[in-house]
Structure 1
């Protein structure tokens, strides 16, 4: 971390190949243990060729954006924060009249206007020590704007700076590593069979239920074919996957291993087919996807445990649980279980575990609520809520 402005931290990260990456992240205080565990230090970032930034041709890395609401006559210009080269003293914001609406000081090579936005903002200007214009980024040019609220017509006397020009690279072609054996996998589930043949994935619908078919077809006849693998990060197992939309049909296929910008290749732990439908707790559709096809024992276990984790997560955010969670009404565990119905049972203590297939609830002093469920694999999942906030949980992997 090189600097902090308000609740935003600025990071410069050196990759193993020596290139620098620039990232920002939110700094939050008074978090619960669960919130601290789930928090990511880094937000979006840019890994830039050092010949481009920082340079005279590009002395600023900005994360500015436009937003508007229905009914607004003009978009608001926000995200006024980023990184700047040594020569930049201030960042000027070009307002709706093509004049500098206000300036943001640069210190420690970073700048931030916090959450401030400018209605009708058009771009930014890098200003030097004597107020000289070093660089301009005007967004009100080029193609027709995506909506009438976005700026157009240029920025007056502030003309866009030309892009950096780099000399041609003479680096030879990097030899590609030899490809291993072609990965072939097969699996079936929920009336669908899946064959993975290298980068190609094919799902054949054979005998699915009418309910599953209705969920997949929806009103648009579109489905998502997704395959995933389980990866370890900091000692924990997470799913990493790639999915693509496809038309519903008896055969649904895609080349997942050859999507541009990805290196996601087989073997996979499982694949799913999902439609364009919403999910709610106890909505009758269950907590599994419409079609789940495990391709490994790990994938089968993941589907089983994810279903249980979803049951807890979806209840915690359900409308039927809102008044209990946030203390609008005060009930004991038995009263909460009766109100929620379904498979919910009262627990005698926060360490108790309900039988498989039941969701346990315990309530205690100081507005503490514990939700517990046991997966058929034997794993115990829980959400420990205090004053409506998640204090502790082991659902982070899902």
Structure 2
């Protein structure tokens, strides 16, 4: 009975009356949050390393760069040979040892379609947009901010654990390990800023996304303690300085990636004709996507003059149906281990986009309730 009553005390709840409790801060925000993020980070990178090792070292699938992945075309010499020739060399169009499906794929597979127009000209010209001074400076600044977090949590572990109720041993150690993991990730990204390290490009996966998700979650987790400072529920000077430093650094890290124009890989601008304006989406930040800033110049031009066909922007390279179909065919033929119905293949092919959409929908639904929850209540009214 005593245990049950004790578990309902305010300091053993996450939320009491109008604010998060000290127990909620130390247990849920300072311990569980970095622990979950650390597990997610380790599992994500481990899974990607295992998956890519299986693809490239066991199945010996060829790794393609972003342009080749969309433009891979046939190098089959038989397809280039004329059906009728005047020389004595016989072109072998039929392999007696080839199965019916293999023979059909050899001559009619979508993967072997050339990226050309009807008149034989190239479908378009891809241009790689590399990181400039601003984008490289962004990663360098991120590196030093994450390093500062490692130093802060190391200092807390050495001097304030178990001396201040805000800093428990398990929470501080977990936070330190989490920031050490993020420091390793940002170090790898900084070392590979020019994308010239084969291992980093090939195995760990999208390290930029891992960093972004961690920074976003850690920033959100510090909002409530930051609010507690302003309503005078955290009075310890060291605790106040700690939470202010955390929300400031986490916000800076989040904004660095939120406004980054080039993310994990170099961007690709694709231009199909000399007169067409390529889509600016590949070099648009997440912030630009959310507020539709990338569309501003087109809308402003439409406001000033009447839009003509030549004013319509092109698509992103991966949005052209030709490349979508080729990627889907490659996905089904090389990455699906067993035969599945078309709808399942389609679902798994677009799974990354579906997961991202679900994440933003969930985040938006949660944020819509935050203003009513965190509003400070008046004790006189209650």
TM range (shorter): under 0.3
TM-score, normalised to structure 2, is: 0.21
Instruction: Determine which structure has the larger helix proportion and give its number.
Output: 2
TM-score, normalised to structure 1, is: 0.20
Instruction: Determine which structure has the larger strand proportion and give its number.
Output: 1
